C-alpha cells in the first residue's frame, strides 16, 4: 500500500487490473491487497459495488515511510505491508510481489527473507526504457538499488540483465554495453575501467563502453551501470519525456497553421506519448532474489499500478527467478582475474 498516491491509486489500479483489457495476462488474476483492512475496504466499496472474489484483503497495520531505513521491515515494523507481502511469497500464498513504496525497504526485505541465488552479492533493479530499434526497449541495470558498487557486482548485474533481456525482448544473444563518459578504452573512472576488463574477458556479447545517447538509439540491448548513475538516468529520462510533451504543446499553440498540422499528426503524437510514458512499464523487477519482486515508481498512479500487476503476473508465469538462476549457472559468477597492467587501483583517484 506504499507510494505517493496510496492508498487510493493502489486500490484503483487493482480494480482496473481485473477489468477486461487487451493487455491483461491470460492467466487468471488473484490479487492479495496488503495493508490497513478498513482503509482498503472503504476504497474498494467506493470503486465497485459488485463482489470482487479475485481480491483478498490481507491485514498489515504498520507503514514504512520513505524516511524509514531500509531495514525497517525486518526490525522495527514486521507488520508492514512490505514485510507481510514478501512473507506471503515464502509461505507459497503469493507468486509475485509489487510495491510502489520504500524501494530500499523492499530490496532489503526481499534480499534477506527470500534470499539471493548462490554467488549474488546484491540484487539489482532492471528497467525497460524505450529506444529505437526492433524491440523498442533497452534493459538498464541497476536503476537505483545500489548506489555504491564494485566491479564484480557490475559484472553480476550484466549477467542478470542479459538473462532478463532474453525474457523481455526475446534476444538470444543480447548486446551488453557498460555506461561510461566515452567509448574509448582509456575513458572512465576506476570502477568503469575494472568492470570493462571483466566484461571483455566474459562470454557475454559485450560491446564495450556506451554513452548516454546509446541508451535510446538501440545500439545496446542491455546497459550496465551502478544504481546512482542508473537512477539519475531514469529520473532525467522521465523529466525529459514529460517536458517534450509540454514543448510540443507550446509550439503547436503558438501558430494556427501548426494546429492544423497537429490534427494530421495527432495519432503519431499519441503513440509518442505512450512510448515515453513510464507508467506503461508498471515497474522494474528486482533481479537477484529468489522470487518475482516488482518495484513501482513512487508516483505510481492507477495506470502504473495496473501495469505493475500485469508485469508481476507475466514474469511470475515465466518463472523469472528460474531463468535468472540458469543464467547465473551458465556464466561463471566468479569474474575472471583483473589484468593489473590494464586496470587501475579502485582506490586511486582518476583524472580522466
pLDDT > 70 in the chain, percent: 92
Q: Are 115 and 143 part of one and the same domain?
A: no
Mean pLDDT of 128-154: 90
Res 7: pLDDT: 92
Contact between residue 333 and residue 159 where contact means Cβ atoms under 8 Å apart: yes
Q: Are 297 and 210 part of one and the same domain?
A: no
Work out how many domains the chain is built from and give that number.
2
Mean pLDDT of 152-174: 92
Mean pLDDT of the chain: 88
In this predicted structure, the answer to whether residue 349 has a pLDDT above a threshold of 60 is no
**CB neighbours (10 Å) of residue 333?**
16
Res 174: pLDDT: 95
| CATH code for the domain of 92 | 3.40.718.10
In this predicted structure, the answer to whether residue 137 has a pLDDT above a threshold of 60 is yes
pLDDT bucket at 333, cuts 50 / 70 / 90: low
Q: Are 180 and 241 part of one and the same domain?
A: yes
In this predicted structure, the answer to whether residue 347 has a pLDDT above a threshold of 50 is no
For 255-296, give the secondary structure using H, E and C.
Answer: CHHHHHHHHHHHHHHHHHHHHHCHHHCCCEEEECCCCEEEEC
Q: Are 103 and 142 part of one and the same domain?
A: no
The pLDDT tens digits of the residues spanning 10-48 come to 999 999 999 999 989 988 899 999 999 999 999 999 998
Q: How far, in Å, CA of 242 to CA of 330, rounded?
A: 40
Domain of residue 158 covers: 129-279
- The set of residues, in sequence order, having a beta carbon less than 8 Å from that of 277 and lying 6+ positions away, is 241
Mean pLDDT of 189-201: 94
> Does residue 340 belong to any structural domain of this protein?
no
pLDDT > 90 in the chain, percent: 62
When mean pLDDT is compared across 244-248, 251-255, 332-336, the lowest value belongs to 332-336
Decide the pairing of beta strands 292-295 and 175-179.
unpaired
Q: Calculate the alpha carbon distances from 111 to 87, 225, 230, 248, 313 in Å.
A: 12, 20, 20, 43, 20
Q: How far, in Å, CA of 149 to CA of 228, rounded?
A: 9
- And the C-alpha cell for 257? 497553421
Mean pLDDT of 139-153: 94
In this predicted structure, the answer to whether residue 242 has a pLDDT above a threshold of 60 is yes
118: nearest Cα among 284, 336, 324? 324
The pLDDT tens digits of the residues spanning 78-93 come to 999 999 999 999 999 9
Q: Are 236 and 303 part of one and the same domain?
A: no
> Does residue 157 belong to any structural domain of this protein?
yes
Amino acid at each position: 500500500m506504499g507510494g505517493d498516491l496510496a492508498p487510493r491509486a493502489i486500490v484503483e489500479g487493482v480494480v482496473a487490473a481485473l477489468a477486461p483489457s487487451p493487455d491483461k495476462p491470460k492467466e487468471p488474476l488473484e490479487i492479495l491487497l496488503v495493508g490497513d483492512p478498513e482503509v482498503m475496504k472503504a476504497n474498494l466499496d467506493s470503486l465497485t459495488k459488485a463482489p470482487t472474489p479475485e481480491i483478498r484483503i490481507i491485514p498489515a497495520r504498520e507503514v514504512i515511510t520513505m524516511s524509514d531505513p531500509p531495514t525497517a521491515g525486518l526490525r522495527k515494523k514486521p507488520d508492514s505491508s512490505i514485510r507481510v507481502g514478501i512473507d506471503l511469497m515464502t509461505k507459497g500464498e503469493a507468486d509475485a510481489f509489487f510495491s510502489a513504496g520504500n524501494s530500499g525497504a523492499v530490496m532489503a526485505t526481499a534480499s534477506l527473507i527470500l534470499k539471493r541465488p548462490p554467488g549474488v552479492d546484491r540484487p539489482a533493479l532492471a528497467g525497460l526504457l524505450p529506444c529505437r530499434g526492433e524491440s523498442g526497449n533497452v534493459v538498464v541495470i541497476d536503476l537505483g538499488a545500489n548506489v555504491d558498487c564494485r566491479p564484480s557486482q557490475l559484472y553480476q548485474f550484466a549477467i542478470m540483465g542479459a538473462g532478463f533481456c532474453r525474457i523481455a525482448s526475446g534476444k538470444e544473444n543480447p548486446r551488453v554495453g557498460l555506461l561510461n563518459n566515452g567509448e574509448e578504452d582509456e575513458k572512465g573512472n576506476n570502477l568503469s575501467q575494472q568492470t570493462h576488463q571483466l566484461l571483455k574477458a566474459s562470454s557475454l556479447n559485450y560491446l564495450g563502453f556506451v554513452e548516454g545517447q546509446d541508451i535510446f538509439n538501440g545500439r545496446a540491448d542491455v546497459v550496465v551501470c551502478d544504481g546512482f548513475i542508473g537512477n539519475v538516468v531514469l529520473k532525467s529520462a522521465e523529466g525529459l519525456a514529460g517536458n517534450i510533451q509540454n514543448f510540443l504543446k507550446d509550439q503547436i499553440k503558438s501558430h494556427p497553421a501548426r494546429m492544423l498540422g497537429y490534427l494530421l499528426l495527432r495519432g503519431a503524437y499519441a503513440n509518442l506519448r505512450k512510448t515515453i510514458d513510464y507508467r506503461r512499464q508498471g515497474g522494474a523487477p528486482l533481479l537477484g532474489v529468489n522470487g518475482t519482486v516488482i518495484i513501482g515508481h513512487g508516483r505510481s498512479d492507477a495506470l502504473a499500478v495496473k501495469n505493475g500487476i500485469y508485469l508481476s503476473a507475466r514474469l511470475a508465469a515465466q518463472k523469472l527467478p528460474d531463468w535468472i538462476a540458469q543464467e547465473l549457472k551458465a556464466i561463471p559468477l566468479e569474474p575472471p582475474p583483473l589484468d593489473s597492467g590494464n586496470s587501475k587501483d579502485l582506490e586511486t583517484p582518476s583524472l580522466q
